Amino acid sequence: EVQLVESGGGLVQPGGSLRLSCAASGFTVSSNYMSWVRQAPGKGLEWVSVIYSGGSTYYADSVKGRFTISRHNSKNTLYLQMNSLRAEDTAVYYCAIDSNGIFQHWGQGTLVTVSS
Amino acid sequence: EIVMTQSPATLSVSPGERATLSCRASQSVSSNLAWYQQKPGQAPRLLIYGASTRATGIPARFSGSGSGTEFTLTISSLQSEDFAVYYCQQYNNWPLWTFGQGTKVEIK
């Protein structure tokens, strides 16, 4: 059974950093495209970043230069390093298996709150 | 960036009635369109991809149609578990996937 479990969210001050993790089971992270999608409180969904099986990475303009997606193959885990955080980054962050843009499997999400 | 616009923002429907949700793309996305259902406190759930193909385990009362810039999600006879927020998403403009702002289906 495919399972995705995010962790690492919490309260951080503006300008701070946080690293999110997404532990996967039932499939191999490095063999799949993996994305992060976020949802601000009471708002819609926003795609954030993707890492392809070959290692290429892409980002939404809103996070480019501040966020870094990566993976640890032996731990079968996906990461999102978030630097220079802003209030507008406050959201629930989901990891998902990205099947050429179709998100069949999602984690339960982890909440990031950026506030002083 | 392709902008996805959903209408209406809120749809009030009685159980057993039909619900029709619309999604418009700012430019053609061919049939590269998915629909998701999200309930409070839960992750989104894939309903439809390829504009009209139901995902695994999705009941037949959910159907999708359209291509290009105009798409529709129809729920033929609303069940209590169908009251939720529905999002459309384009995956034609690689890799910048974008979602609509959502339609909330509420009990009338």
Residue A1, helix vs strand vs coil: coil
Picking from A65, A62, A98, the residue whose alpha carbon sits closest to that of residue A81 is A65
- Please answer yes or no on whether A44 and B96 come within 8 Å at the CB atom: no
Picking from B40, B26, B2, B25, the residue whose alpha carbon sits closest to that of residue B72 is B25
- Please answer yes or no on whether A44 and B44 come within 8 Å at the CB atom: no
Q: Which residues of A touch B91 (CB under 8 A)?
A: 100-102
Mutate to test the interface with A, among B38, B56, B97, B101 (most CBs of A within 10 A): B97
Q: pLDDT value at position A54?
A: 94
CB pairs under 8 A between A and B: 54
Give the chain B residue nearest A59 (alpha carbons). Answer: B96
Above 90 in pLDDT, residue B95?
A: no
Q: Are B88 and B23 in contact (CB under 8 A)?
A: yes
Quote the minimal CA–CA distance from A43 to chain B in Å: 7
CA of A31: how far to CAs of A99, A107, A116, in Å?
11, 18, 39
Cis peptide before B44 (omega within 30 of 0): no
Tokens of residue B97, six digits: 């996937």
Interval B32-89: pLDDT, tens: 999 999 999 999 999 999 999 999 999 999 999 999 999 999 999 999 999 999 999 9
Q: How large is the average pLDDT for residues B2-21?
A: 96
Q: Which residues of A touch B42 (CB under 8 A)?
A: 108
Q: Which residues of B touch A43 (CB under 8 A)?
A: 101
Interval A35-75: pLDDT, tens: 999 999 999 999 999 999 999 999 999 999 999 999 999 99
Above 90 in pLDDT, residue B7?
A: yes
CA–CA separation, B92 and A7 (whole Å): 30
Give the chain A residue nearest B5 (alpha carbons). Answer: A44
- Please answer yes or no on whether A102 and B46 come within 8 Å at the CB atom: yes
Mutate to test the interface with B, among A45, A56, A62 (most CBs of B within 10 A): A45
Q: pLDDT value at position B94?
A: 85
CA–CA separation, A21 and B11 (whole Å): 36
Picking from A22, A18, A4, the residue whose alpha carbon sits closest to that of residue A113 is A18
Quote the minimal CA–CA distance from A60 to chain B in Å: 7
Q: How large is the average pLDDT for residues B99-106?
A: 97
